[in-house]
Structure 1
Amino acid sequence: MSEELDAVDAKILDLLQRDASLSIAEIAERVGLSSSPAWRRIERLKKAGVILRQVTLLDQDKLGLTFEVFATVKLQLPSRENLDRFETAIAEWPEVVECATVTGAVDYMLRVLTRDMHAYDDFLRDKMLALGLVSDVQSRIVMRVPKRTTSAPLELISTHLSG
């Protein structure tokens, strides 16, 4: 971003992270601005790429997606071509809700959501292992989630924010 975030920007971002359905008028009132300047700030943050998109979070349990797994994946040969092929494939698999390239003995960490253990087994056999690229998958079944947030920790950047 060409210009630094200030304290008002941080407040706006915090509000939007907590509830993206807030109206411009509600946001403006909470940060002490009128609607037009608040709208301009939000548009600037969007254009700068700070705000990527606004989404609705769903309750995965109420949707029947109660089986959650963190899986580490090691490719047989982590060449550029195989990494690209694997990443292209996982982009198409709805079960994979997050994927990160990681350091260490494995190549990827995946967060996978399915209905149950049988659906996860089908996913492993019919999709991941069927690619012919994977040499090892270690699955960690999630028992309980004491914390989950989609919010960036804005307080970690607020030490240099003025206002």
Structure 2
Amino acid sequence: MDKTDRLILTRLQRDASLSVADLAEQVGVSKSACWRRIQKLEDQGIIRGQVTLLDPVAVGLSLTVFISMKTNQHNREWATQFRDVVEGIPGVLEVYRMGGDIDYLIKAVVADMPGYDSLYQELIKADLFDVTASFVMESIKETSELPL
């Protein structure tokens, strides 16, 4: 990946709706060269997809929650069950297996506290040992842009 690829990726991270012509002009290459580079970055798996980012409050999901959890079961069967449970919950945005004091960290969005309770009721189907929730009061920085 060279400097031009990094420029293309930086611009696409900020606005994936840019036309190839506009993107090519911004990074100083021809449209065909820009298109070939984008295709190569997609083929290599560097570009995983393109999405539209929504304002959660505007779509009625005003409560963001980070859920820390521990389990007593560190085996493949439990991990598969846990994966199936969290993949089936629409409000769950991100799930991480962690090192340190907690085993898993989940980021989720819900409409309100009853919405969190519903999510929690689905989550505990995974047979968890300890669950702690922290609710976001203010988002100070939020980005999906990787520093290239």
- What TM-score bracket applies, with the shorter chain setting the length? over 0.9
Amino acid at match of 1:15: R
1:69–1:142 contact (8 Å) kept in structure 2: yes
User: What is the CA deviation profile of residues 9-59 of structure 1, one whole-angstrom value per residue up to 9, with x for unaligned ones?
Assistant: 000000100000000000000011110000000000000000000110000
Query: SS state of the match for residue 45, structure 1?
Result: helix
Identity of aligned residues (%): 39
RMSD of aligned C-alpha atoms?
Answer: 0.9
Q: Is the 8 A contact 2:85 2:125 kept in 1?
A: no
Query: For the Cα contact (< 8 Å) 1:27–1:38, is it kept in 2?
Result: yes
| Counterpart selection for 1:37 from 33, 37, 45 | 33
Say whether 1:128 aligns with 2:123.
Answer: yes
1:13 aligns with 2:47: no
Residue in structure 1 matched with residue 66 of structure 2 by the alignment: 70
Structure 1 SS opposite 2:77: helix
1:137 aligns with 2:128: no
Number of positions where the alignment pairs a residue of Structure 1 with one of Structure 2:
148
Task: Give runs of ≥4 in structure 1 deviating > 6 Å.
Answer: none
What's the secondary structure of 2:144's corresponding residue?
coil
For 1:122 and 1:23, the matched residues in 2 are separated by: 42
How far residue 78 of structure 1 moved from its aligned partner, in angstroms, is 2.0
2:133 partner amino acid: S
Residue pairs, 1:76-155, within 5 angstroms: 76-125=72-121, 127-131=122-126, 133-154=127-148
Secondary structure at the aligned position of 2:129 is classed as: strand
TM-score by length of 2: 0.97
